[in-house]
Amino acid sequence: MTIGQKLALSIVAVEAAICAAFSVDFSCRKSHQMLQTAPNVNLAATAALRPKRRNTLLFMVDDSPAIDSVFSYEEQKLIEELYAKVADDGDIKKVLEETLPSLPPSLVIKLRQAGEDPHEMIRFVASQMNEMLDAQLEEAKMTLQELLDAGEIRKLDAVIGKSARTGKLNVPFFNVLNFNLKDASAEVASNIEKDLPTDGEGAASRLQILQHIYTRCQEEVEKSIPPGLALLNRLLRQPQQPIRLNLYDHYLTPQSNKISTPDGKEIELQGQAAPMVPLEEFVSAIANTVEQIRTVENAGATDRTSAANMVESCRQIAKEARVVIGESFGVESEELNIFQEGLQPVFRPTTAESPYIKGQ
C-alpha cells in the first residue's frame, strides 16, 4: 500500500476525509454488485422552513452569540449570510452549490451533524445541505459502479477520462472509492487470517481492480490541478524512495535544454530550463495540505494520531525535496533558502494560533 493510500494523504484524500466524518457504509463486496444506497434524509418538514429575511445575527442575544452554541461567532455569521442568500435568491440548490466550496470544512462538518439543532435557521440550512451532499454521494456511487462494470482496461480508462471531463471525479467520489478500498483490504486480511485463498476472482482481485481505479483517477485529477499540488499528490502515492528522488530531480530542479533530431539523436543546447514545478508552488502545496489536515483534525473528522502521521509524511517529503534542491542549486543558494523559509512556519509554528496547528 502506498504512502498516500495508507495515510489518506493525497490532496483529494485529505478532502475526502472531511466527507468521511459523516458518511454511511459504501462497501461493495463484489465488483459487479450495485453499491449500497445511502439512507435518504427526511426533509418532509423542510417545506415549512422557507427562510424569512432577518436583520439580526443568528443566535444574537443582546448583540452577543449564545454561549452554549457549538458554532463560533464567525461561523454564525456565515450561516446567517447563507440563509440570507437563500431568502433573496429563492433557489436553494443554486445557492448551496455556489457557497459550499468556500465554506470552512469544520463548518461543513458541524452543519452535517446539525439536523436536529434547536435553531430553525440551522435546521433549514443543515437539512438542505445534507440533501445536496447525499445526492452527490449517490452520484459518486453510481460513477464507481460504472467504472467497475467497464470490464476491460481500455474501456475503463475511457470511462475514467470521460468522468474526469464531466467533473465526476470529485470529493464524494474519492470518499466512496476510499471506503471500498478499505473494505477490500480488510477482506483480504481476513482471508489471510482464515487461510482462505487470496487469488483468483475474490477479495484480492477486487482490491487490485479498486487500486487500479484509484491510481488512474488520481492521475486524471492531477492533470487539472496546479503543478505543485499534482507533484505532491504523486509523491504521496509513491512508496519507493528512489522513485520519489527521481521525481524531485525531474520536477524541482533545472533541466538541460535538449532537442531531438528526426534520426533520434539528441542535441544539447546552452543554458538550462527552469524547473517544471516552481519551488514556491510546491511549498504552497505542502503548506495547504498540512493546514487541511489540521482543519480536519480539529473538526473531529480524524484522530490526533492519524493527523500526526499525515503531517509527518508531509515533513518527510519536504526533507527529501530539500536534499535534492540543495544538491542541485547549492546549499547557499537563494532557491534553497526560499524553500526552507517557506516551510519553516509550517513545521515549526511559533504560536499556538498558527493555522498549521489549528487549521482554518
Q: Mean pLDDT, 10 residues at a time, over the chain (360 residues)?
A: 37 42 42 36 37 42 47 84 78 81 80 81 85 89 91 87 90 88 85 68 75 90 89 90 94 80 71 85 95 85 86 95 94 94 94 88
* pLDDT given at position 45: 37
Q: Burial level of 90, CB count in 10 A (0-12/13-18/19+)?
A: exposed
* pLDDT given at position 250: 92
* pLDDT given at position 227: 92
* pLDDT given at position 170: 87
**What's the whole-model pTM score?**
0.64
* pLDDT given at position 265: 74
Residues facing 256 on adjacent strands:
272
For residue 87, the tally of other CB atoms under 10 A from its CB is 14
* pLDDT given at position 104: 80
Run of H or E residues at 271:
strand 266-273
3-state secondary structure at position 266? strand
* pLDDT given at position 337: 95
